[in-house]
Amino acid sequence: MQQPSDPAGLAAGGIPIQLLRLISPTQPVGAFSYSRALEWAVHAGTVKDEASAACWIFGLIDHSYAALDGALFWRMAHALQEGDQASFLKADAWLSAARESREIEQEDRRMGESLLQILRELDVPAAQALADRRLGFPAAFALAAVHWRITPADALRGLLWSVIENQVTAAIRLVPLGHTAGQRILVASPPVIERAAQKAASLSDDEIGNAAPAMAMASAWHETQYSRLFRS
């Protein structure tokens, strides 16, 4: 299939349309199946209303995702831009080794496998070349972003948005929150995303690491939770 002259599909305002497609809830990667430990937090009463849901979700972004997933995604995207596959795969392996629980590792790998399969079916060369690899979701997202010439900065913010949106969707079902409450959390998220993106892009290798013990323990406890709607 012939690639368009503007692969990112920039709209008049400079928004990468291909990025909007990548972060859309209709992207069939199974994100709706996972809560990243939010289900246990609701079960335990830690998250019980709009305020506590926002605190949990934004805390996850600030203390976990920005400092680990986001920072390593930033390295993966730049490595791909520079044609450095070894550094790209090293960052993906680093992220896998840093996972806090079996469930979070499985969530990452299964969503990564799904996105890679989509990219292969869309004839993305980099995905075809890595057909024998099991990559995590941030790595697969980086492959897609670089293919469609989405800048690492835009892609990072889009990835952060997708995590928050999925968490809000899970909270609407679990707490439960009303849809308007969910929208209020999303409306409040841009400063959190911007702060997290700047943090992820500025960390040195020695500073990368997760600092969310409550989420890690909740994820481990979720593995034996007696009744579950979500897979993580």
Q: Break the chain into its structural domains and give their ranges.
A: 37-222
Specify the range with the lowest mean pLDDT, choosing from 33-37, 71-75, 123-127, 177-181: 33-37
> Whole-model pTM?
0.91
Q: Give the span between the Cα atoms of 35 and 101, in whole angstroms.
A: 13
Q: How confident is the model at residue 220 (pLDDT cuts 50, 70, 90)?
A: confident
Dihedral-angle region of residue 9 (phi above 0 means left; psi in -120 to 50 means alpha; beta otherwise): left
Q: How far apart are the first and last CA of the chain?
A: 37
For domain 37-222, give the fold. Urease accessory protein UreF (1.10.4190)
Mapped onto helix, strand or coil, the DSSP state of residue 98 is coil
Q: What percent of the chain has pLDDT over 90?
A: 70
CA separation, residue 8 to residues 4, 39, 123, 155, 185 (Å) = 9, 35, 16, 11, 28
**pLDDT tens per residue, range 35-47:** 988 998 999 999 9
If you compute the radius of gyration of the chain from its CA atoms, what whole number of angstroms results?
Answer: 17
187 CB neighbour count, 10 Å cutoff: 8
